[in-house]
Amino acid sequence: MKSFLTALAMTGIAASSAMAADLPARTAPVVPQPIIAPAPAWTGCYVGGNLGGAFGDASVSGAAGTVSTNGSGFAGGGQIGCDYQFASGWVIGFRNMFDGTSNSRSGTIGGGLLPAAVVNFNNQWFDTLTARLGYSWVPNWLLYFQGGAAWGHTSTNITFNGAQVGQTSMTRTGWTVGGGVEWMFAPHWSAFLEGNYMDFGSQSATAFTVGALSPCVAGCGFTAKATEANVLVGVNYRFW
């Protein structure tokens, strides 16, 4: 009887051990890792260069009549600025751009004070300081609009028979508005395509007579107005 009980106990222990061996091993609970959001792609400052075309319109009106003409030329220079990305895809920033231009055009004004006089217009350079607002719909593309102040050096020369009878040449202050798209094609590097419009307002000056061209021997006033548009491509190097 004692031997039977001992054998029965040993059988129960063996069965318990076999069942325990079949149970899955206990593992430590999995702790989810925190998700770290990537740094905003467009936050930081940059410096770069650009080139493109400049298209200007200018007019002169006065005692001799009115002439309006347009022309085109080359534009190229550099820019520096900073951006800040917030609320997921929105980007705000500011930029200063300085470009030299070869934009020049001419027209003929006749009658009154200066019959058959030639008017030459030139835009030597422009400088813009703008704020911009953009939206990045994917991490490496940015669509933006911008506007602000513009400065440009323009000159207007009126000549008759080779003699200069009137001139304006100075740095003007105006305004600009534009927009474009920018593509971050490599770490720290982006390229952009944009268009801008600038209005430099009007400037008054005096055209003098040569010999006996008209009764206006003391000179007659004229007003010169200049605007310019440009299309630019450029590259920026970005610092984070």
**Helix-strand-coil percent breakdown of the chain, rounded to 5?**
10, 70, 20
Amino acid at 111: G
- Domain assignment present for residue 6? The answer is no
- Domain assignment present for residue 217? The answer is yes
- Domain assignment present for residue 46? The answer is yes
Residue 216, CB half-sphere, CA atoms under 13 Å: how many? 18
Q: Mean pLDDT, the chain, as a whole number?
A: 81
Count of domains for the chain: 1
Q: Residue 214, by phi and psi: left (phi above 0), alpha (psi -120 to 50) or beta? A: beta
Give dist(CA 149, CA 84) in Å, integer.
21
Range of the domain at 88: 40-239
- Domain assignment present for residue 2? The answer is no
Q: Would you say 196 and 176 are in contact if contact means Cβ atoms under 8 Å apart?
A: yes
Identify the band that residue 69 occupies on the pLDDT scale cut at 50, 70 and 90.
Answer: confident
Give dist(CA 82, CA 94) in Å, integer.
6
Q: Would you say 203 and 171 are in contact if contact means Cβ atoms under 8 Å apart?
A: no
pTM for the whole thing? 0.74
- Domain assignment present for residue 4? The answer is no
- Domain assignment present for residue 230? The answer is yes
Q: What is the CATH number of the domain that holds 67?
A: 2.40.160.20
- Domain assignment present for residue 215? The answer is yes
Give the angle 144-53-234 at the CA atoms, nearest 5°: 45
pLDDT tens digits, 118-163: 778 888 899 999 999 999 988 899 999 999 999 998 888 877 777 7
- Domain assignment present for residue 159? The answer is yes
